[in-house]
Amino acid sequence: MTRFGHSELPDEQADALRRAKLIEWLSIGYTVCTVTVVAFVVGNSQAMRTAWIEDMLSTLPQIAFLIAVLFIRRPHTRKHPYGMHRAMGVGHLVGGVALVIVGGLLAYESISGLVALDHPTIGTVSLFGHTIWLGWLMVGVMVPIAIPPFFFARAKLRLSEQLNNKLLYADAAMSRADWQTNAASIVGVLGIGFGIWWLDGAAATFISAGILWDGLTNTRAAVLDLTDMRATTVDQKSPHPLIDEIEETLRELPWVREVGCRVRDQGHVMHVEAFVVPRDDTVSLDDLESAGHRVAALSWTMQDVAIIPASELPEELAPST
């Protein structure tokens, strides 16, 4: 069991967390390698600077995740009564903003090149006495470089669901941006080879639109979570199914007449405040505590469950009539 705030992680999630940490370290190591290797191949300076800044920014979500992991283990204290789970939410915002900047830089660079009708120049290199077109070498380097992030993206997406972790979800988008940008530059360089000078800019524009979109949706999602919107699934598309499950579980108790829940996502775990209206005027402590345990048992993400008896539900939680 792995220590996790004031509880412990189930084996499946503890294992997923270990793999997530490993893959984040691999991603950072990968970026360090690509920055070094690409520096040897790509000569044209302006494009290179942008590519470097992008590469460095692409490690931000990974760094944010590895830092957040240190904080989420901390026990709850008087000073931090909710624990430090929000560190994941903050990291999600960092990841979203990093995606916006990377996508924005790429979009600006590629669109301004297209508008200026820039014809990219790629000459030759002299290798072992042969004169070889540099484009072939670029493609040769870009193909192996594009492969790892393709698998990183898939693994991160799977782990983000297992860990209910939106920072990993944003980072999966960053890895996807990595391999798609590389694939686009392969298409672009080959296009230049065939004399289709605009293909490089067009491919990069197309890819940057996708990255920018990922960035905007992730940033929006992070801000909504940090401003305590009701918990959603990792892709932010629908209310988290656990909200219904919690209400169902409590409604099944014989002493409960009405239930309304406030569930917020702290980046990967839930903070649950369940208002219950009892059938009688009195409720026993035993009933309240066992209700809390039942809810906590629904999922490992139920880190903080408060059962609040009330004479009527708060207005916003009352079933609409």
Partner 1 sequence: MIPHWASQAVLPLLPLLALLGCSLQVPSDPEGTLDRVSGGVLRVGASIEGDLVHEDDGSVSGTEAALVEDFAESIDARVEWTVGGEEHLVEQVKSGDLDLVIGGITDQTPWVEEVGVTRGYPGIPGAEGRSLVMIVPPGENRFLSELERFLDERVA
- Spatial distance between the Cα atoms of 195 and 84, rounded to a whole number of angstroms: 55
Stretch that binds partner 1, among 18-26, 66-74, 193-201, 252-260 (CB under 8 A): 193-201
Q: Are 257 and 309 spatial neighbours (Cβ–Cβ below 8 Å)?
A: no
Stretch that binds partner 1, among 19-27, 212-220, 247-255, 287-295 (CB under 8 A): 212-220
Minimum CB distance to partner 1 smaller for 52 or for 133: 133
Among 1, 40, 78, 126, binds partner 1 (CB under 8 A): 126
Q: Are 182 and 34 spatial neighbours (Cβ–Cβ below 8 Å)?
A: no
DSSP for residue 123: -
Least distance in Å: CB of 72 to partner 1? 27
Interacting positions 32-51 with partner 1 (CB under 8 A): 44-46
Instruction: Tell me how far the alpha carbon of residue 165 is from its chain's centroid.
Output: 7
Work out whether 118 is an interface residue with partner 1 (CB under 8 A).
yes
Among 71, 82, 206, 255, binds partner 1 (CB under 8 A): 206
Minimum CB distance to partner 1 smaller for 104 or for 210: 210
Least distance in Å: CB of 213 to partner 1? 7
Minimum CB distance to partner 1 smaller for 22 or for 143: 143
Work out whether 131 is an interface residue with partner 1 (CB under 8 A).
yes
Work out whether 290 is an interface residue with partner 1 (CB under 8 A).
no
- Spatial distance between the Cα atoms of 278 and 310, rounded to a whole number of angstroms: 8
Residue type, 135: G
Work out whether 214 is an interface residue with partner 1 (CB under 8 A).
yes
- Spatial distance between the Cα atoms of 246 and 231, rounded to a whole number of angstroms: 12
Q: Are 238 and 232 spatial neighbours (Cβ–Cβ below 8 Å)?
A: yes
* Binding mask of the shown chain, residues 215 to 254, with x at each position contacting partner 1 by CB under 8 A: --x-------------------------------------
Work out whether 194 is an interface residue with partner 1 (CB under 8 A).
yes
Work out whether 125 is an interface residue with partner 1 (CB under 8 A).
yes
**What are the DSSP E strand ranges found in 34-139?**
124-127, 130-133
Least distance in Å: CB of 139 to partner 1? 9
3-state secondary structure string, 21-42? HHHHHHHHHHHHHHHHHHHHHC
Work out whether 192 is an interface residue with partner 1 (CB under 8 A).
yes
Angle at 64 between CA 62 and CA 67, to 5 degrees: 110
Among 186, 222, 234, 274, binds partner 1 (CB under 8 A): 186
Helix (H, G, I), strand (E, B) or coil at 7: strand
Least distance in Å: CB of 168 to partner 1? 15
Least distance in Å: CB of 57 to partner 1? 19
**Dihedral angle of Cα 244, 247, 248, 250, to the nearest 10 degrees:** 160
DSSP for residue 238: S
- Spatial distance between the Cα atoms of 183 and 146, rounded to a whole number of angstroms: 6
Minimum CB distance to partner 1 smaller for 184 or for 302: 184
Least distance in Å: CB of 197 to partner 1? 5
Report the 10 Å Cβ neighbour count for 252: 10
Work out whether 271 is an interface residue with partner 1 (CB under 8 A).
no
Residue type, 87: A
Binding site for partner 1 (CB under 8 A): 44-46, 118-126, 131, 133, 135, 173, 176, 180, 183-184, 186-187, 190-197, 203, 206-207, 209-210, 213-214, 217
